[in-house]
Amino acid sequence: MSLKVPHGLPALQIVKNEGTHVEELKSSTCNTLRVALLNIMPMKETTEADFIRILAASDMEIELTLMKLDSHTPKHASPQHMQLFYKGFNELKKEHFDGLIITGAPIEKIEYEEVTYWNELCEIFEWSRRNVISTMYICWAAQAGLYYWFDINKYILPEKMFGVFPHKILRPDMALFKGIEEPLYVPHSRHTELRKEDITAQAQIELLSESELSGVYIMHRQGTRDFFVTGHSEYALNTLDNEYKRDVSKGLSIKLPLNYYTDENPTLPPMNRWQADARKLFGNWLKYYVKK
């Protein structure tokens, strides 16, 4: 595929150094998909690389725009990086995009209305319905979106949902799952959950995939091309390993990520159970829902 990102973006070089083939799009054409990434994760370059890696696996021509919140200043990203590579929502609100990805954020234990940028995020939710063909809400953003649109609450878990979990596909006939078979493995790393009974009580929401262990995974808003995704199919192979070792080094109580390390041994390499299906999932999203 061909991918156009802000000139000089370090994350592009990261994925190239990994051996990911990325052909740089020289100029946009009528076939180019305009995709915006609202990145509210703290480690900007890591998340940028995750999505460049996954989008680069498709056969679509994509122009990727990095979007930032105007009401929030990231603590873990340099002001120079944000100024060089990101555009604020106010700068982009008159534009139209084929696709929008809204990332999660490590703030899931905070009440939505107490999040400092909640009002702006709600404005973006509303804007996306008029200016975006298909939106993918991921992890905390999925919880926030379902709360905003349907007043569906999140619940704090007794312990972190952490690992790579097998999922059922409830609508295998749907184009989103073309070429994907059960079990669909997906990484999860979160302290809260959505409950199935709250989802199925809403006539406008269709549950598409779930796990007996990690709960609901993908939901579709009927009559739209919008998806709410609680897991992290975009994660790199070593992401959960980094999280686990970080928490161990801080002396925090953390269990091994389930179904992740070979023989459940953290001294052995992680098992790559999800990335092939993740590439198909995002490729299908681009081809069948983002593309006009």
Active-site positions?
139, 232, 234
Q: Residue 57 half-sphere exposure, CB side, CA atoms within 13 Å?
A: 17
Non-local (6+) Cβ contacts of 90 within 8 A are 70
Phi, psi at 31, each rounded to 5° = -95, -5
Q: Residue 120 half-sphere exposure, CB side, CA atoms within 13 Å?
A: 15
Q: Which residues pair with 132 in a beta bridge?
A: 97
| C-alpha to C-alpha distance for 228 and 205, rounded to whole angstroms | 10
In a 10 Å sphere around its CB, with 0-12 CB exposed, 13-18 middle and 19+ buried, how is residue 45 labelled? middle
Contact 176, 284 (CB under 8 A): yes
**Looking up tokens 């139209």, which residue turns up?**
96
| C-alpha to C-alpha distance for 112 and 256, rounded to whole angstroms | 29
Task: Give the 3-state secondary structure of residue 238.
Answer: coil
Q: Which residues of 101-121 are buried (b: 16+ CB within 10 A; e: fewer)?
A: bbbbbebbeeebeebebbebb
| C-alpha to C-alpha distance for 145 and 199, rounded to whole angstroms | 12
At 246, which amino acid appears? R
